[in-house]
A and B are shown apart, each in its own frame.
Chain A
Amino acid sequence: MSPSATATTLPTEPVTPAVTETEATIAEFTARGYDAGFVTDISTDTAPPGLREDTVRFISAKKNEPEWLLEYRLRAYRHFLTLAEPDWAHLNYDPIDLQDITFYSAPKLKEIKNIDDLTPEERADYDELIKTYEKLGVPLHERSKLSGVAVDAVFDSVSVVTTFKEQLGKVGVIFCPLSEAVENHPELVKQYLGSVVPHTDNYFSALNAAVFSDGSFVYIPKGVRCPMELSTYFRINAAKSGQFERTLIIAEEGSYVSYLEGCTAPMRDENQLHAAVVELIAMDDASIKYSTVQNWYPGDENGVGGIYNFVTKRGACRGKRSKISWTQVETGSAITWKYPSCILQGDDSVGEFYSVALSNNRQQADTGTKMVHIGANTRSTIVSKGISAGHGQQTYRGQVKMLKGAKGARNYTQCDSLLMGDTAIADTVPYIEVNNSSAQVEHEASTSKINDDQLFYLMQRGLSAEDAVNLIVNGFCKDVFRELPMEFAVEAQKLLEVSLEGAVG
């Protein structure tokens, strides 16, 4: 399958998917709470399980990659072999058996020029895919009501649809699957890939650099304000597979982009690995806003199944007065290991991290951020809200580093934990390093518990126990929700409510 075969723009003609016929073939696991837990039944092209040099070559060949990229992957693979899985995070899980994982799985569907030319079998798969995203509420039709958002839909290892590519192209914005960028814009990929998160950075970034599949590529040219929100929707579907996407966003001088990311996976009683790398680059006066609503399958109430989410996300504020803002709402995954960070290189550059992370039942999250202040007068803000319920375990891990040149740099960190019940755990692990005497670091932390008096008070006014909890949780998270684009904020609020079902009473 060639890269271009995996990424297509939907025909603008409205397609009517065969809803009634496909309904029956989508295996629905109707468990309470997680409504993205279904499986899509389509033919796939899948690598044999396990990780060997062959696997790396297989993936590269599947994507018709140039020699330099294969070399890059192999270098990363060889380095990976020298590394051991990190164990410093407050996470307990059985070791991941990489030889048991499938590193590449893609729908067989070939390039769609005209849907009328599809064989009946391809047409069925096509309908299944469309149906899948419809069920997930992801708008793949450019005429849909969320027309202000362009979507790249990544299904297992490949991007299946990218919308609004042409319209964005008119203002010079490149928004496409990374594999397509390798083909069409190799010079940009070559220049920036691995420049923020090198393959040597950590165990999971080395693994990702060796076997990465599709993610999104975004390029905003100088002075352009991206006319719509860009988004990527990641879906894990195939059993026993891992997802290793890679996203690269470059904002040239004076440009602006807001990018959204959503993720879901079927409910299965096995654990599936998701190890992504995201790199952001902001030049002078450029601004990147990156929002995530992570809703990977969290496992059941006994901790069976769920996604292992090991992600390296980092943004480089290379330019003066550049700004990178991370907002994340992490409700899913059995394990979350994630520290979206900012390297504040340019003078007067700004880094922000707004996070809500929830662990219910047996979920574990070790998440936070790193703000590395290099340039003068750089500023960073960290607002972290951790919610722990059931037997959930939650660690905020954050590093603020002021290097020698960070004259007048400032950081403000606010780190709040909300506990529900007596078995939930919350921890805060701040690392602060200041090497410039004019730099200022301010850290505030709090831990609170939803207490029975509060619940009784709210219930005495007519709210159900669940509404009462939701009201308190939403209040707790509002400083973060406020940073999300409107549609996402509503979505995030609903997700939290669903994720906390059964956490009281």
Chain B
Amino acid sequence: MLEIKNLKVKVGGKDILRGLTLDVPAGEVHAIMGPNGSGKSTLSYVLAGREGYDVTGGEVSFDGKDLLEMEADERAREGMFLAFQYPVEVPGVSNKVFLKHALNSIRKHRGQEELDAVGFLKLFRSKLKTVKMDKKLAGRELNSGFSGGEKKRNEILQMAMLEPKFAILDETDSGLDIDALKAVSDGVNALRDENRGMLVITHYQRLLDYIVPDRVHVLLDGRIVKSGGKELALELEERGYDWIRAEQGGAN
């Protein structure tokens, strides 16, 4: 479903991704772990189509299409979703109004009928329950003044509403209390199915107790340097990244 081949990306003139290869088939959830600054968010932004990232090599195919050819909004309408590590505040814009616009532009693209206010509200309320989000909070201005954890929960609410084909979760677990972690995981698990792929970026193996991944990858210095099953996450938590660095050094 998502095939990344030898992706090289420069940011601000600096090489950040240096030949990253990764394949996430439909129906699977893959986790990416890696030290700070290794390029995890860079990868997620490049996949989502943010400007300012200079792709100098490699290719990405999404559902058979050339992902890098598309603008950010086209990618979103094609079903690519990014839960931001740092969700953006947009004061003045109602969370609900925004979501209705977003949902309808995606539905339109899929050839589905646009939802009217009643249809939207019905869906909205049911998804609020899924992610256990407070109605008042969800009706406020988009992320404006939200606490860190509230913003993350709002990302999952949006994901639940938009039902993307592929979701990237960039440290969605950071800053969440235990209940929120549970709610967010439930939201993610509810979306797991054989047609949908997910990439979960995290620092903590704890999240992977809730969202059990099919594969775990280690991103180091802009490359996937090790892959394994869920047990790799446990090992990383115990041993840190130095041993992998050492392995790499030895391999070079």
Residues of A within 8 A of B (CB): 448, 452-454, 456-465, 467, 471-472, 474-476, 478
Contacts and interface: CB of A to CB of B under 8 A. Distances in A.
Closest 6 CB pairs of A and B: A475-B92, A461-B102, A457-B88, A475-B93, A462-B76, A459-B73
A171 to B, nearest CB: 37
A467 B104 CA distance: 12
Most buried by A among B99, B105, B141: B105
A458 B98 contact: yes
Interface string B72-109: 11011100011010011011111001110111011001
Contacts of B103: 462
B94 to A, nearest CB: 7
B101 to A, nearest CB: 6
B72 A460 contact: yes
Nearest to A452: B51
Contacts of B75: 460
Q: Of A454, A457, A463, which is in contact with the most chain B CB atoms at under 10 Å from its CB?
A: A457
A463 B102 contact: yes
A300 to B, nearest CB: 28
B245 interface: no
A471 B76 contact: no
Most chain A C-beta atoms within 10 Å of own C-beta, residue among B87, B93, B158: B93
Q: Which of B50, B91, B102 has the most chain A CB atoms inside 10 A of its CB?
A: B102
Nearest to A416: B92
Given A461-B98, A461-B102, A456 B92 contact: no
B207 interface: no
Contacts of A458: 90, 98, 102
B77 A462 contact: yes
B184 interface: no
A453 B99 CA distance: 17
Interface residues of B, number: 32
A362 B94 CA distance: 31
10 contacts: A457-B84, A457-B87, A458-B90, A459-B73, A460-B75, A462-B106, A463-B102, A467-B101, A471-B93, A475-B94
A459 B72 contact: yes
B1 interface: no
Nearest to B90: A454
Given A452-B51, A456-B50, A462 B94 contact: no
Residue with the highest number of chain B CB atoms closer than 10 Å, among A457, A462, A472: A462
B201 interface: no
B88 A461 contact: no
Contacts of B88: 453-454, 456-457
A376 B103 CA distance: 52
Contacts of B101: 463, 467, 471
Contacts of B72: 456, 459-460
B162 interface: yes
Nearest to B93: A475
Nearest to B98: A471
A475 B75 CA distance: 25
A478 B77 CA distance: 27
Nearest to B73: A459
A459 B90 contact: no
Interface of B: 48-51, 71-73, 75-77, 81-82, 84, 87-88, 90-94, 97-99, 101-103, 105-106, 109, 141, 158, 162
Given A460-B82, A462-B106, A476 B76 contact: no
A121 B97 CA distance: 52
B91 A462 contact: no
B73 A472 contact: no
A464 B73 contact: yes
B105 A472 contact: no
A458 B223 CA distance: 29
Contacts of B84: 457, 460
A461 B93 contact: no
Contacts of A478: 92
Contacts of B91: 448, 475
Contacts of B99: 461
B93 A459 contact: no
A465 B141 CA distance: 19
Contacts of A460: 48-50, 72-73, 75-76, 81-82, 84
A462 to B, nearest CB: 4
- Most chain B beta-carbon contacts within 10 A, residue among A453, A461, A474, A475: A461
Contacts of B158: 461
Given A454-B88, A458-B102, 13 more contacts: A448-B91, A452-B51, A456-B72, A457-B88, A459-B49, A459-B73, A460-B49, A461-B99, A462-B76, A463-B105, A464-B73, A464-B105, A471-B101
A467 B82 CA distance: 19
B90 A461 contact: no
Contacts of A472: 90, 92-93
A475 B141 contact: yes
Nearest to A478: B92
Contacts of B94: 475
A471 B102 CA distance: 11
Interface centre among B72, B87, B98, B162 (most CB of A within 10 A): B72
B31 to A, nearest CB: 21
Nearest to A464: B73
B71 A476 contact: no
Given A456-B51, A471-B97, A463 B73 contact: yes
A336 to B, nearest CB: 23
Contacts of A457: 84, 87-88, 90
Contacts of A463: 73, 101-102, 105
A483 B173 CA distance: 42
Contact of A461 (B51, B76, B92, B97): B76
Interface-centre pick from B77, B98, B162 (highest chain A CB count, 10 A): B98
A51 B75 CA distance: 61
A383 B141 CA distance: 19
Contacts of B51: 452, 456
Nearest to B48: A460
B225 to A, nearest CB: 28
A465 B77 CA distance: 13
